[in-house]
């Protein structure tokens, strides 16, 4: 589905990604994790065509990303960022409906658009506040609306940049459940940038761990999110255990009660 070969990108003199190769298969749920400044958001911006790679190739369904126009790319990839309140008081329904207008020249919504919006609102359980302004919702509700907008875009791939970073535990789990449901029921391919290692272990099929100086690991969460890799990449010691099938990681610092033994 997405094929990345020897991708490199640098801001001025600062190399962020170097020689990165990743192959994302259809219907996989990927997490991109790593410390701040490792290039997670840059990676997503490159994928969504907001930035142009300085070296390497980036292909979607066998075609180079540079060959797609903005509209064509919007038919392949939908982007969800951290939730925010837009400058003007658009309602939930208006927000989701906008996903239908970027790719075509229609002035009014057609029946197909209205049906797609209704389906997206239903899937994200946001239909109850369809007429409320976006600014009147909680952060978690708003994030679900932005996911609904991405669903209404009807793309095979969903890209999400830290969608749960401002949310409480309940809403974090709810968003991950929703994404898993989209993967299983609608066959979406999902790439998600996140800081949450434990939710990544529980929900994702594959992980890309971006470290400093262009070093990276990829594979299943069990292989990649190993205590040694985490320590090396983040410079944080901690305790790793198992629940039933998957690992979990508890970061421990110098002054934490159960501080790590030297």
Partner 1 sequence: MLTAGKLIARIGIALVILLAVMCLSLLVGKDIDNKLELISISKVVQGIQSEWHYLFSGYHNTADEPPNVDFQIFLYFRLPRVCLAVVIGAALACSGVVFQAILRNPLADPYILGISSGAGLGTMLAVCFGWTFRVAWLGLSPIMACSFAGAMLTVWLVWGIGRITGRQHVTGLLLAGVVVNAFFSAMIMFLSSILDARDLQSTIFRLMGNFQELECPLPVVASALMVLAGTVILTMMGNRLNILSYGSDDARSLGVSVERTSLIAFALAALMTSLAVSLSGLIGFVGLIVPHAVRLVAGPDHRQLIPLSAIVGAAFLVAADAVARVIVPNELLPVGVITALAGGPFFLILLIRYTKSIHWGRA
Bridge partners (DSSP) listed for residue 192: 31, 160
Q: How many residues in the chain?
A: 262
Chain centre distance of CA 60: 17
Query: What is the distance between the alpha carbons of residues 10 and 18, in angstroms, rounded to a whole number?
Result: 8
Counting contacts by CB under 8 A, is residue 92 touching partner 1?
no
Residue 143 CB, nearest approach to partner 1 (Å): 13
Enumerate residues 55-74 that contact partner 1 by CB under 8 A.
70-71, 73-74
Distances (CA, A) of 184 to 159, 178, 204, 211, 259: 16, 10, 12, 30, 40
Residue from the set 63, 101, 110, 168 that interacts with partner 1 by CB under 8 A: 101
Chain centre distance of CA 257: 33
Counting contacts by CB under 8 A, is residue 90 touching partner 1?
yes
Give the number of other CB atoms < 10 A from CB of residue 81.
Answer: 15
Residues sharing a CB contact under 8 Å with residue 39, sequence separation 6 or more, in sequence order: 9, 16, 17, 210
Q: Are 116 and 78 in contact (CB under 8 A)?
A: no
Q: Binding pattern to partner 1, positions 7-46, x when CB under 8 A? A: --------------------------------------x-
DSSP state letters, 119-134: HHHHHTT-GGGTTSBG
Residue 70 CB, nearest approach to partner 1 (Å): 5
Enumerate residues 134-153 that contact partner 1 by CB under 8 A.
134-136, 149, 153
Counting contacts by CB under 8 A, is residue 255 touching partner 1?
no
Residue 102 CB, nearest approach to partner 1 (Å): 3
Residue 110 CB, nearest approach to partner 1 (Å): 11
Query: What is the distance between the alpha carbons of residues 149 and 123, in angstroms, rounded to a whole number?
Result: 11
Residue from the set 23, 55, 66, 84 that interacts with partner 1 by CB under 8 A: 84
Residue 148 CB, nearest approach to partner 1 (Å): 13
Enumerate residues 109-138 that contact partner 1 by CB under 8 A.
109, 114, 133-136
Residues that bind partner 1 (CB under 8 A): 45, 48-50, 70-71, 73-75, 77-79, 81, 84-91, 93-95, 97-99, 101-103, 106-109, 114, 133-136, 149, 153, 159
């Amino acid at each position: 589905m997405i094929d990345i070969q020897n991708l490199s990108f640098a801001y001025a003199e600062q190399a962020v990604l170097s020689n990165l190769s990743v192959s994302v298969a259809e219907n996989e749920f990927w997490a991109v994790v790593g410390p701040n400044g490792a290039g997670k958001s840059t990676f997503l911006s490159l994928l969504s065509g907001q930035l142009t790679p300085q070296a390497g190739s980036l292909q979607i369904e066998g075609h180079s990303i540079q060959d797609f126009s903005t509209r064509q790319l919007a038919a392949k990839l939908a982007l969800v960022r951290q939730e925010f309140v837009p400058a003007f008081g658009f309602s939930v329904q208006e927000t989701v409906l906008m996903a239908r207008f970027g790719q075509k020249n229609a002035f009014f919504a057609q029946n197909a658009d209205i049906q797609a919006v209704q389906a997206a609102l239903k899937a994200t359980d946001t239909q109850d506040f369809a007429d409320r302004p976006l600014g009147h919702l909680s952060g978690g509700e708003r994030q679900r609306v932005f996911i609904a907008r991405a669903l209404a875009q009807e793309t095979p791939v969903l890209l999400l940049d830290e969608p749960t970073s401002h949310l409480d535990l309940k809403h974090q789990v709810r968003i991950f459940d929703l994404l898993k449901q989209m993967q299983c029921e609608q066959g979406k391919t999902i790439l998600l940038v996140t800081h949450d290692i434990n939710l990544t272990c529980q929900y994702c099929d594959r992980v890309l761990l971006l470290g400093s100086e262009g070093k990276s690991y990829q594979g299943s969460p069990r292989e990649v999110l190993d205590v040694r890799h985490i320590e090396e990449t983040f410079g944080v010691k901690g305790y790793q255990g198992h629940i039933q099938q998957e690992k979990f990681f508890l970061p421990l610092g110098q002054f934490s009660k159960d501080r790590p033994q030297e």
